Structure 1
């Protein structure tokens, strides 16, 4: 006869269900629900302490998430991801995937999902997602699929791949270690890989074709049309433009850039192309075609000064006011580069370059005289840009943006690679590798201390802290152990296939509401107990626990990678439920059948 749960166990289950209900309804923000959960746990344990504890111990449990290694690890990983973005270290990979997505969006997504699965089989899934996350955010900004439609499928692919080997996740290692302590023979790295690969092949169509359609496009639409700038792109000596015809080049530029008064024949060094496009379009054309829209000497000077000072190179838009000395002058006669050390990359004139609809192409940028209302796209260091704006009576507009510090791109990639390798081979725990990588990002200048806030998400921080507190009270109150006993007592009359499915589903629910470690710690002994009572081999039941611990798709609090993508994809709690629950049911059914067939139960 199973005794009823304790008062604290009942309270822990009520708090967990209430938090889940609050997240699912979305009446309150994720941050508010998370903070309320922490507050309720703190107040409850102060007035009703757990056995053999003091009231203040409850406060420590409730707020321990803010200092927990999992939260620190997630923050460190987000900082390292920021370092890859601001240095442009992921540009080569992003460009390859961008070309694939431009060729075919669906094929690009399929290749990405398969690559993520295979990569996470050998490398811990958290570093894999950290590596891929900024690439897909960058792709979304360049016109590929929205990040909100790709990040949840990508995360699921990473988690499925990590489930395929004993080293794929730290949870796998924990389950295998506990099982060995209980008497199960040691499993090889690829002991259960065929089972997972078969299940992955069945789940892949859902990730690829169905899951993106269940997710909304969370991109924030621009409320105004982007300004289009006129610029002159110079053909460099060793760039890909030399010797090419313009017809061969145009597909590389994309729809955002147009070429006016196109030259006839092959292009030659130092030739200049009159182009128009948005700020992002012109910068993309400069990067892809390795051409410049400003004199080399001033761009080189800006780069040297940035390296010497440790400052960022900035691109900003400035409007010409009525009392500016530039009115009536041309760009060469203005002496902007000589006087201020900044470079004008392009000029926008409202009555000339309005989205490409009203164009005049009979003027060049050399004889265009500045007029009131013109908007200049200018690059340089912050101090020089501010001096230019003051000295020539210009109005700095919104949209100031830092250019990637590409001189540190290789360094940032090496730091990230070192963190991934040392964590994946088990040389250091992921927390130590991530923290060491974040420190190196700061020390080397890949990420600046005053920009850390841009890398971190307040929503993720309080959500992680709340989930840790809930996981700890579920474990400490005995709620998890009581649920396990109830599960074991009701299985005596079930067929082996249903026993496997029930164990896997129980652990899956536990891991989605508490933590992988709690599910592994509680579930593995329960699996051995059930196998002994029912006369079943323990290995398939242990694998049911291992697989269930990895089926953490249904809530953002289930695993740290779920939280990493939450801010970038602008996801709500309901997005995880809507897409994750069908995937959980599909994987539980498939894996249970495969275990029954493999072990001939």
Structure 2
């Protein structure tokens, strides 16, 4: 290999390490790698920026807007209601849930689908005396499998389609991938229905901890009239920086004050609500001028406040910071009652705990907390403790019509997929289904930038000769097994890579290797490329490999290796099915 190939390999390895260690988010990591390769002369400006001129990133952005409109209008709610019916048998209930989820994910981004279903499925399972863990991981996996059915299903499919187009091939048709994606999804969903009840263990969800142990978290005190705290501010009374708990609300007669600022003057008879651990309230108990106001029952929702689950994603500004460093109370106008990580409550002073990807925060806030934060990068999922069933609106039919029009016009060739998606998003904004602000916030800019940067990295692998060298090694090592051996090797490498980085990055890195390997053994490169799309989406082995897996991590109360317990056999089934079917169709 020349120095260009060695530098490209070193850059890719460095990017994988940085992302695997969570030192930096995927988008800036890949952008930085592309900049290094551009400055060093491995690729030129046009190649480095090829992703930004490719249809894939903008198509993904437009489809984010469409998916947000579906979620907002409750267009899928009739389908959801039909899923969540009483059924005494676990496998039948799973089948009723997973088949429609996979079907919906075939044409919609799976992240909003899972976000909409997590609170409803959790509440439904709890009401029937079942653990949400029985359903939430299969829900995420089914949404991923459904994304394989059409090119619209996942951003990975669109990345591969864009890469094919950049290499001079036709883009993937809307239903071209269906001939392999539909059988894979059907076999995968069937495997989930059969295996999940056997392999998944009952876990206690994060919200169950709050419902069961609410008195450990919420402490009510009353200001003693004419006592040391009567007539002084919160700061002066020493209630601003307590070791074990912090003040979130003050009830004064019929008025509820919250969040509580440091300059609020306390009055005798005020009822103060603190949150924290009951075994860590030494500072509170020793504060003169406060008396216990505990009642036998503590109401979670007063009408002016509510509890929420908030799941932290990889792009959240909270990652790596303590709640105190992030100024959580001031920024979010909310208080964290507890932090759940890997199925267990994190012990210690909450203000000093560093937040990690996948953490579930139990938050006390005003009822508007979800509407302010659910479509921002701060949290992957924000759901109220008391699940509220979305109500379908009249606009839902219009949104469904727009979605059908996008599929129909792209399938018939009247418009390209990019044109159809952009036109559909514009119609939804023009029709006031979404405001321009809602449309802007619905687009995950990190995903769009990640896809664009991944194209530059893929071009570097191709132009430097790295892809050719790796393809030669793959063919030499597995050539004796023919097409099946080469395809299995490519897909295994892609699965490992997608768990370490992201599915879009894994697809872009493996694409030139797959195309070169296919050419060397005389096979259709298109089939190998689509197989790479399947493998890059097959992220079932960890809670951090795919967004929807992270979203259900805390709400399901899962441990890290619970994913591999169900995900490993599912991955093997998906890969084996693809390896068998791909040579049949290409």
Give the TM-score category using the shorter length: 0.5 to 0.7
Note the 1:433-444 alignment, pairs <5 A. 433-444=420-431
**What is residue 344 of structure 2 aligned with on the other side?**
none
2:110–2:143 Cα contact (<8 Å) kept: yes
Query: 1:450 aligned to 2:446?
Result: no
Q: Distance in 2 between matches of 1:219 and 1:78?
A: 29
Note the 1:39-78 alignment, pairs <5 A. 39-46=32-39, 48-50=40-42, 53=44, 57=45, 61=48, 69-78=55-64
Query: 1:487 aligned to 2:474?
Result: yes
Q: Which consecutive residues of structure 1, in runs of 5 or more, have no partner in the other structure? A: 227-317, 325-349, 357-372, 378-396, 532-537, 557-561
Aligned-residue offset at 1:110 = 2.5
Q: Distance in 2 between matches of 1:98 and 1:416?
A: 24
1:519–1:549 Cα contact (<8 Å) kept: no
Aligned-residue offset at 1:154 = 1.8
Query: 1:551 aligned to 2:535?
Result: yes
Render the CA deviation track for 1:569-591: whole Å, top value 9, x for unaligned. 5799x899957665444433455
Q: Distance in 1 between matches of 2:166 and 2:50?
A: 26
Query: 1:156 aligned to 2:138?
Result: no
Render the CA deviation track for 1:158-192: whole Å, top value 9, x for unaligned. 145459x9xx966898999999999xxxx999876
1:471–1:515 Cα contact (<8 Å) kept: no
2:468–2:516 Cα contact (<8 Å) kept: no
2:160–2:529 Cα contact (<8 Å) kept: no
Render the CA deviation track for 1:333-369: whole Å, top value 9, x for unaligned. xxxxxxxxxxxxxxxxx9798559xxxxxxxxxxxxx
Note the 1:362-441 alignment, pairs <5 A. 398-400=366-368, 406-441=393-428
Change (3 A) 1:431 1:421: same
**What is residue 285 of structure 1 aligned with on the other side?**
none
**What is residue 127 of structure 1 aligned with on the other side?**
108
1:79 corresponds, among 56, 59, 65, to: 65
Q: Distance in 1 between matches of 2:165 and 2:456?
A: 25
CA-atom RMSD in angstroms: 5.5
1:9 corresponds, among 5, 9, 14, to: 5
Aligned-residue offset at 1:443 = 1.5
Q: Which consecutive residues of structure 2, in runs of 5 or more, have no partner in the other structure? A: 126-131, 216-248, 256-293, 306-364, 372-389
Change (3 A) 1:69 1:595: closer
Note the 1:177-576 alignment, pairs <5 A. 196=184, 200=188, 203-204=191-192, 208-209=196-197, 321-322=252-253, 354-355=298-299, 398-400=366-368, 406-452=393-439, 454-457=441-444, 459-461=446-448, 463-494=450-481, 498-502=485-489, 504-505=491-492, 514=505, 516=507, 519=510, 523-524=514-515, 526-531=517-522, 538=523, 543=527, 546-553=530-537, 565=548, 568-569=551-552
Aligned-residue offset at 1:156 = 3.3
Aligned-residue offset at 1:526 = 3.0
Q: Distance in 2 between matches of 1:552 and 1:499?
A: 16
Q: TM-score, normalised by structure 2?
A: 0.53
Aligned-residue offset at 1:153 = 0.5
- The secondary structure found in structure 1 opposite 2:536 is coil
Change (3 A) 1:483 1:139: same
Aligned-residue offset at 1:399 = 1.3
1:474–1:514 Cα contact (<8 Å) kept: no
**What is residue 95 of structure 1 aligned with on the other side?**
81
Query: 1:136 aligned to 2:117?
Result: yes
1:10–1:479 Cα contact (<8 Å) kept: yes
**What is residue 113 of structure 1 aligned with on the other side?**
98
**What is residue 231 of structure 1 aligned with on the other side?**
none
Query: 1:18 aligned to 2:14?
Result: yes
Aligned-residue offset at 1:440 = 1.9
1:199–1:591 Cα contact (<8 Å) kept: no
Change (3 A) 1:78 1:566: farther
Between the two proteins, the alignment pairs up a number of residues equal to 411
Render the CA deviation track for 1:264-307: whole Å, top value 9, x for unaligned. xxxxxxxxxxxxxxxxxxxxxxxxxxxxxxxxxxxxxxxxxxxx
Render the CA deviation track for 1:117-137: whole Å, top value 9, x for unaligned. 5677xxxx3537478445524
1:88–1:404 Cα contact (<8 Å) kept: yes
Q: TM-score, normalised by structure 1?
A: 0.52
1:157–1:207 Cα contact (<8 Å) kept: no
**What is residue 245 of structure 1 aligned with on the other side?**
none
Aligned-residue offset at 1:422 = 3.3
1:501–1:544 Cα contact (<8 Å) kept: no
- The secondary structure found in structure 1 opposite 2:432 is coil
2:471–2:516 Cα contact (<8 Å) kept: no
Aligned-residue offset at 1:521 = 6.0
